[in-house]
Amino acid sequence: MTKMRLILGSGSPRRRDLLAQIGVVADDIRPPDIDETPLKNELPRPYCARMAREKALAVRADSDDVVLSADTTVALGRRILGKPADAGEAAQFLLAMSGRRHTVITAVAVRRGDRLWERDVVTTVRMKRLSDEELNAYLATGDWQGKAGGYGIQGPAGALIPWIQGSFTAVVGLPLCETAGLLQAAGYPVYQGDA
């Protein structure tokens, strides 16, 4: 009998690091190439769930492989704040969130064969009111690049976030409690060491 393989359908080093925290190491990493454009009038939570699902379905895998994909979306009301194209857009996103609460949604999809298990986690995050000095210093770090909403709570932007309600690991990119539950539901041995 061959060992069950876990395929991570994400190129995010943060997701790999989070999985390692619970002793899970993917056997292969296959970031899917899908269109991540929101549909017309699509709300953030359904959008995020659709992205995680489409990523899981787009990853090439054998029928007994377990595929894990996720999507993290930052939302300000009904507005989806994606990955900024440049420092100017990152500044717009950060200024829009400055002194306000916003929502971070992370959806997780696990696929094994034709079965799909899904969960999403919604976390409320408050960003402090940013001074010009704080904004410019953060933008200069380049940490905003490739991150939904233009920031990563686990990096320098952590100093800009005084309060969250929900899952810290979901804001980073993968809610560990829910992800472990989905992997177990798919038959992947999360807590059994080398299976």
Query: Active site residue: 27, 35, 65, 71, which one?
Result: 71
Q: 138 with 147: CB under 8 angstroms?
A: no
φ, ψ (nearest 5 deg) of residue 75? -130, 135
Give the residue from 63, 53, 52 showing the smallest Cα distance to 15: 52
In the residue annotation, 71 being an active-site residue is answered as yes
Q: 148 with 89: CB under 8 angstroms?
A: no
Structure letter (DSSP) for residue 158 = G
Give the residue from 65, 36, 30 showing the smallest Cα distance to 52: 36
Cα–Cα distances in Å, from 135 out to 91, 157, 164, 168? 7, 10, 20, 22
Catalytic residues: 71
